[in-house]
Amino acid sequence: VCLAYNEGSGEFGNCLEAESCKDLHVCESYIRGLCDGSTGCSRCHDIYEPHPLKTLQDNGVPSQLMSILLPIYKSMLAMAGADKFTLISSATAP
């Protein structure tokens, strides 16, 4: 996920590479479950839109995996968050 795309305003946020960016231009908050994709957010919420789809195809992601990609990514983020919580809890334990 392109962090620069998710910052700033405009069609490409702060991403200077715009259409040529090799990272996914999708709403990071949407992937994290913090954005419902409503009209209040101008970021992409659909991996089938032209830029995300081309990025995934260029990186060799098979079309059969497209429909399960977001749930997999959400699970990865959740596991990373759980690991982070475990590390913090372990560090503060007496």
* Distance spanning both ends of the chain, measured CA to CA: 37
Q: Where are the domains of the chain?
A: 18-92
**Radius of gyration from C-alpha coordinates of the chain:** 15
* Residue 90 scores a pLDDT above 80: no
* CA gap 3, 32 in Å, rounded: 13
Q: pLDDT tens digits for 20-67?
A: 999 999 998 888 888 888 778 999 999 899 999 999 999 999 988 888
**H-assigned helices in the chain:** 28-31, 50-58, 66-92
Q: What does the pLDDT read at residue 16?
A: 96
Output 64-67 pairs: Cβ under 8 A, ≥24 positions apart: none
Q: Which residue has the tokens 């069609």?
A: 11
Q: What does the pLDDT read at residue 53?
A: 93
pTM (two decimals):
0.73
